[in-house]
Amino acid sequence: MKNKNLNAPLSGSTVVLGVTGSIAAYKAADLASRLKQMGAEVYTVMTPAAREFIAPLTFETLTGNRVYSDMFGEDQHLSPVHISLAQLSDLTVVAPATADFIGKVAGGLAVDLLSSVVMATRSPILLAPAMNSGMYENRIVQENIGKLTNHGIEFIGPESGYLACGYEGLGRLAAIDTIIAKIEAILSF
């Protein structure tokens, strides 16, 4: 972390924001915007599924940085991109984090750009799950969360409420204010 500006509490911090394929991906745009307003440098990494829910241009506009989603794309200016992003990061936040993504990381898989960034990251990692309550409460998902927690990865949420599938239950992405408070707490050390 670099020098702090008291008017911008995250000034000097670099956050890599991972966005996975969940309906809650649109909320990540608000998170990116708020982090930028708080002085953080934000680099967004989107999974291919996330791009089905929200356009990369949204994050490029909000952060002022290009969006990364392809490990081997021709337009990459960081080389190798997954290592470069991991080294830039003071904190990697994945919001929303799907059951699929949590399972990949728990299994030690680096099969796409975002999972590769997480595998290469030495700075703190924060995952914010968002999924149907049946998926979240599934024993395998809970075991994966427990495994990652034991390896030092932090989690925030999910919250209970109305879900996109029409049900109510535990699985909503944590409120952006709650995620930001956790980010501030992690970066204040």
Give the residue numbers annotated as catalytic, written as ranges.
165
| Beta-strand pair 14-19/91-97 | parallel
Q: Are strands 159-162 and 168-172 parallel, antiparallel or unpaired?
A: antiparallel
Q: Is the dihedral of CA 9, 84, 152, 160 positive or negative?
A: positive
Whole-number Å distance between alpha carbons of 95 and 143? 20
- Pair of tokens at residue 38: 């708080």
